[in-house]
Amino acid sequence: MAQYYSDELDTESFRLATISSGIHPNTKSQVPSVILTKHLLFGALDLAYNALSYTWGSPRDSSPPTDKVTNTTILLNGLLFEVQENLYDALVELQVSCSETPIWIDALCINQSNSNERSPQVSVMNQIYGKANRVIVWLGSTFPELETGLRAVERLGAASVPETLRMMRTQTWDFSSDLSTMPERYGMDPIDQEEAVGLVALYMSNWFTRIWIIQEVSLTSDVVILCNGRFTCFDYVGYTATFLHYSGLFQSVVDLVPKDRPGIHLRGGINIFHAERIQLLREWCKGKKSAWTGVLAMLDLEAGLGKHHANPAAMVPLRVLFSTFGMKATDRRDTIYGWNGILKHMAAQEGVSLPVVFEPDYDIEIKDLLRIIACNIIETTDSLVYLSLVKDPSVRETPGLPSWVPDYPPVLYNSVHGPNFRSLGTLNSSKHIPHSPNKYPFTITGKVLNAFGFRLGTVQRIGETFLECLQGRLSMLGDILLTMDKTYTYTNQQADEVLWRTMIWDTDFTNRPSKLIRLEDFQRAIAHNFVRALQYVFKEAGSASAGHALVLQSISDMAYLDEIAAKFPDSIFPSTRLVRSLCASLDTIPQDSDGCDEEELQKLMEPLSKHAMPPGNIMASTWINRRTILTDTGYLGMGHESTQAGDEVWIISGSPAPLILRRSGERNDCCLIGEAYVHGAMQGEAITDEVTWEKIKIV
């Protein structure tokens, strides 16, 4: 690309773009014309420039229908140059809205085909964004629902902050589910259907999942979203997302959206949790200038290690990597390098230097980069907590990577270590204290993690996935409960209580053990999953009579529910009588059907407690991408979805959470499947003088 870039940039200089309207030499149509000029980075504060934050690919997974002709050709320094469609649209809008101000745009201001320029420029992007007068966020071409969503966050954003700070300060959740109570509880008008559609449209923007945007919006104070000539303060977007999550109103907003609404497409994820985490990092980077400074201390972003570390240099990378998840990067190496600016900024705040392994080097292979990063974090923290970031084997994306090295696939995935409110306390199944004498040390030799541990048990039975639960398929989970003794030996609790506590990692998001979950609410949530699935069976039938017959047959196939009811009358599973009663109330079976239980039905219809956490909210956090497991030794736990019978559950010295391992190869080495929650073993209860620690190799 020598014809576009006459020189090669290092870390001392950067280019700025000036946008005007030009004429395509062939079609004679108007196209954006961009002129690049070189400047010293040292004097950037005097230049009064903007910086653009956008996504290189499509702005949405499913874009609203449009008659717009696709254009991708611009003039760059007077020559024809191809750009992505989303950038083309942004250039057109920028030329109209703020052409008088020079702007930094990564795809144009860096010679992307020259790694000798790209690496040093990426390493100073934190300075480029940090010194910009304003960062302009581009979510894609406007459409009515997006504009409605931006108006909604302008209404809700600032007004919601005191409520969010209250919840964080007291380390509690409001558990709201009724939008009509917003005036009484929060002094705000309720979110209506049009606003709900707009908010979902806004948070479905792919921009929220792009890893680079975190440093782009976190390092300068003035960040705005440009849409149809209007600028919306970005903080309002983050504030609203955080409020909707902590208040519990998020699901009610989603439920308000008609699934067939023209112009809105509920096919992809709604990235509200990404928006929340981005805002928390932004407030963190503001330091003492943020009104959130005090309450951020209520969040444990260090997986419980912070109290053991006087050296913040070890904590900065761990804190950042644990506080976000599911971000996307075109170049897989950017799953690490995309954090460079944030890491440098936070290291500077702590008065320490960032380890050199985090400096961009686009000549290194992704598998080598990820392994080097893992080695650095494990060695500097003197802990194996980093292994909890390893995702399920089915979603890992890096061939040739040791199983114990996280590779950050773009999947929403919660760890048992949080981030959580500090009121939950910390987990430490191996009783390891970093930087203290350790009788059973762990070391890394090449691609092998050498450690000591002992086996809690071998996986004997597995339960269903969360999706299967929503489909009313829970026979394997029922089989687990029926297999268990009535009393769980390791905690002396009733087995049916241990089951629901295990499914939510024994937390209500404020306490561990859980105190704010009502058994009745849990029973209601599970019963409705069965009934919702049967409603679908009824709707798929050709007629009402055929639907009734299919539903009745499905209920008769659930005999295991009555076995559970006989052995554990207070379990979370409904009896078939209760399922029949619920179906009769919904006309999916005849109302005069035999075997209904009206008394139980009335109990189930009682309103949810206003002072209890809805269990569905927690199960969506703890059960997604996981399944229940039962070992041959009677331990009940939750492991990654790929866990299968024959896998082994271990306590590994240095790992705060138990790990699920799978034997592999002739040498009997092990592969890591992932972390686990094991009820009655999360605080070191399994460690006794009788335990024999074994050497183990994880490859």
Identify the residue whose tokens are 């960040």. 223
Q: What pLDDT shows up at residue 319?
A: 85
Over pLDDT 90: what percentage of the chain? 72
Which range has the top average pLDDT, 53-57, 263-267, 368-372, 471-475? 368-372
Question: Is pLDDT at 366 greater than 90 in this prediction?
Answer: yes
pTM of the predicted model, to two decimals?
Answer: 0.91
Identify the residue whose tokens are 């039975």. 461
State the Cα–Cα distance between residues 647 and 458, nearest whole angstrom.
Answer: 6
643-698 tens-digit pLDDT: 999 999 999 999 999 999 999 876 779 999 999 999 999 999 999 999 999 999 99
Q: Let me know: does 357 contact 385? Beta carbons within 8 Å.
A: no
Which range has the top average pLDDT, 410-419, 423-432, 630-639? 630-639
Question: Is pLDDT at 393 greater than 80 in this prediction?
Answer: yes
Q: Which residue has the higher pLDDT, 170 or 43?
A: 170
103-104 vs 50-53, strand pairing mode: parallel
Q: What pLDDT shows up at residue 269?
A: 73
Indicate left, alpha or beta for 27 from its phi (over 0: left) and psi (-120 to 50: alpha). alpha
Instruction: Report the alpha-carbon angle 391-392-398, nearest 5.
Output: 70
Q: What pLDDT shows up at residue 15?
A: 97
State the Cα–Cα distance between residues 364 and 351, nearest whole angstrom.
Answer: 29
Backbone φ and ψ for 278, nearest 5 degrees, come out as -60, -45
Q: What pLDDT shows up at residue 267?
A: 42
Q: Let me know: does 525 contact 615? Beta carbons within 8 Å.
A: yes
CB neighbour burial string for 499-523, b if at least 16 within 10 angstroms, e if fewer: bbbbbbbbbbbbbbebebbeeebbb
State the Cα–Cα distance between residues 408 and 402, nearest whole angstrom.
Answer: 14
3-state secondary structure of 418: strand
Q: Is the peptide bond before 190 cis (omega within 30 degrees of 0)?
A: no
Rounded mean pLDDT, 386-392: 96
Question: Is pLDDT at 236 greater than 80 in this prediction?
Answer: yes
Q: Let me know: does 376 contact 342? Beta carbons within 8 Å.
A: no
Rounded mean pLDDT, 474-489: 98
Q: Which residue has the higher pLDDT, 516 or 376?
A: 376
